[in-house]
Amino acid sequence: IPKISSEGFWLLNENLDTVDVNDSLCKMLGYSRAEILGKKPVEFATEEGIEVFKKSTSMIRSTDHRSYEISLKHKAGKTVYAIFNATTIRNPKGNTTNSFAFVTDITENKKNELKIAKLNRLYSILYKTNEAILRIRDLKTLFDFICNIATYEGLFKMAWVGVLNEEKTFLVPLSFAGRIDGYLDNLQVSLSENLDGCRPEGSAVREKSSNYSNDIENDSSMIPWADEALKRGFKSVAAITILLDG
């Protein structure tokens, strides 16, 4: 049954080494059977998944059945979300000899859940921002509030609000929150159409619109600024223009 099952099958020995897998599991993770045999499942887990595996495998001898959600690493680098339904195999004396798990791929469902959660966070930010605009009159206080909401409730790594300098040629950071790590120290956001003006922030203000990049690492338009962003863990960016009195 494990060989022909549409679900993944993973069999371990008492040392947690892989002794058998089926084709469905190989397809799920993008590895050949030979690449998985002899290795421990934890070697195919994400950082978060490693902790889940440690907790679950520590219970193999004390429990007969375990069910848990975990994130794994596909050979291509993408994340695979899965449900493990694991069972302990014992000999007639009750000693653990092996354990196995049927693995269900829930990646698509998980992606949809994450999208919905992200949208809900964005709606919450918009609602609370609009509410703040009505009651907060001081701009610095308002912008501080927006940045804090974006990072604490929206879970963005960093948020900042800039204002135009007196000559209206550059954006100057006024409020910020989250992981800054010196990112704003040497920031140059011009409103001209030179290189510094082609940043998402500069383009958005110049065009009185919004601009974004969902994948800084692979977006050719972000090459001049990608290194500074990526080394701080910023993988995407969105710039939104705030208009005051038109």
Residues 44-59: tens digit of each pLDDT: 999 999 999 999 989 9
pLDDT above 80: residue 195: no
Q: What is the mean pLDDT of residues 182-195?
A: 84
Q: pLDDT value at position 123?
A: 86
As a whole number, mean pLDDT of residues 7-34 equals 95
pLDDT in tens, 77-99: 999 999 999 999 999 999 999 99
Q: What does the mean pLDDT of the chain come to?
A: 90
Task: Between 129 and 76, name the one with better pLDDT.
Answer: 76
pTM of the full structure: 0.60
- pLDDT score, position 5: 73
pLDDT at 197: 60
Q: Name the band, by pLDDT with cuts 50, 70 and 90, for residue 140.
A: very high
Residue 232: predicted pLDDT = 92
Section 149-177 average pLDDT: 91
d(CA 212, CA 156): 14
pLDDT in the model for residue 70: 95
Instruction: Report residue 4's pLDDT band, with 50, 70 and 90 as the boundaries.
Output: low
Q: What is the mean pLDDT of residues 101-111?
A: 93
**In this predicted structure, what is the pLDDT of residue 46?**
95
